[in-house]
Structure 1
């Protein structure tokens, strides 16, 4: 081997080593999380905060997505699409139809919220609406943007209303599957909730009743908090189903 080839070879090896070391030392926000939880996450390099702006009259999903991608360099998780499908499968009936969706983006310095509202009407009367919130955050120290929480609220609008398909337990189960909660956790949580409802002597009036949750023993630096809860009013009527995936990093 010629002297020049040896020099080139040494340079290449040195570069490979430097790149390898850089890769090893580069902090990956979710490297300690399971592959399952990593599939629910999103993060990317970013040099500055989101600024302050309100976009409350976005007319279409495409317009909202373009704004997030082009202005803020953010991506939409697959969980959003899974939720959209679930909402449109689990809520509407023959008499209760989907209305026009509403999209908005609110940026406040180090936080940004993308909200989608899915309304459902019986003729002209609002029966139920589902709200999906994707909350992004910016870390100054790490120079990165990340998806901090994904929250779903399914709210019953009518005072004495209920879910159109009267399918609360099934809805909770499907939400849990989309959140990639263990099947045993989902089944156990739903069974416990149904038992409480069936055995209740007085109306349940809790304004936040967890049904399925991994909060007990949560490893905050290794997994997301995942929780599904039911909200009651003071009359004992179900008003809302709440589902959250969020980072609780210490």
Structure 2
């Protein structure tokens, strides 16, 4: 792309997206500009990724064709008030914060802007991100394709309606933390049974990665794939019995519901 992309905020998600677009050659370092109040973090990111940096959010808003608001939800109103006069008619604003609806973001601008609400996740850092995109009616098909290309450069995308976005926050945005905890628990159990910790983490992580890939690439129902591993009277069905007896799926579902409820609360 011969356009510039800007990030207001240089946290983990911003760096994940930047790494993704750089690795996929969607943007060059000279086409990326990032602002933040933390100069040390900015300078470190510049050294690592070869991007432009600034302490002034207005420099980003005046020069970028795409502006990613990679800031905490409670900072949105303040930052939008700061940059709203600099947003050009063709500028595409991308929000990535949990609980920030399109309506809430648009009301802070006080005018119609081209806006895409996106819920990405941190596996973007390794090219396996999952991003849900929700454009407003100012975004054309061509512009939406451009935003899709950005987020497809480090994973997969799905176009979603606004009403589903808080559930998506739990399903893709927050779920990596649950998966990491699951991997850690598997590895801890392996260590308990005598495996070296470094090998336990590697084995557990690859098992999770391979299992997810089986679901995606075979198109088979997860329950069907689970059944195929559970031999009659075998070790795996014994493990499944223990999980079910202790409410494994119910606990996972409850954690999801709690996450969505929190996102709903933040959206008000």
TM-score for both structures, normalised by structure 2: 0.23
State the structure with more CA Rg.
Answer: 1
Which of the pair is proportionally richer in helix?
2
User: Which structure is higher in strand share?
Assistant: 1
* TM-score, scaled relative to structure 1: 0.25
